[in-house]
Amino acid sequence: MKPSIVIDTCVLISALRSKNGASFKLVSLVDSQKFSFSLSVPLVLEYESTAKRIASSLGLTHADIEDIIDYLCTIGKHRKVHYLWRPNLKDPGDDFVLELAVESECQYIVTFNIKDFSKANNFNVAVITPQELLRKIGETI
């Protein structure tokens, strides 16, 4: 069975910053059928606002960011979060990521902020880095 994941914003931003790391490889594989990923309106809005805020430093235009986000929305599973479990995490801004993972019954939240999601295991959601997910699906950087 292929893993189901939620990709935290920091991973998307890392993928946009460099083509050399695990984040870029992971985002490059979103249409590979090696995993499925879930999206919600709040997560997409965070992706967009964060990426647009730093777009010029990435050498990207706002239109480029919109195209990337549109592509992710085409591939990802769209979910509506009906129940809120707040507050739960150290950073209240991360609660909606956990809520999406729980609602969509994802196995993993993929992030670099492992400590920020320490309570995710209370909901049977593991928190792993992009590199760890790549290993689980048999990919290398």
Q: Give helix 62-75 / helix 41-53 axis angle, nearest 10°.
A: 150
CATH superfamily for 4-136 is 5'-nuclease (3.40.50.1010)
pLDDT at 83: 65
pTM of the model: 0.94
Cβ–Cβ < 8 Å for 135, 81: no
Residues of the chain with pLDDT under 50: none
Residue carrying structure tokens 């991360």: 94
Which pLDDT tens digit goes with each residue over 73-93? 999 999 998 766 666 676 777
CB 41 within 8 A of CB 83: no
Domain definitions of the chain by residue range: 4-136
User: Residue 131: which residues within 8 A CB-CB, separation 6 or more?
Assistant: 22, 141
- pLDDT, position 113: 92
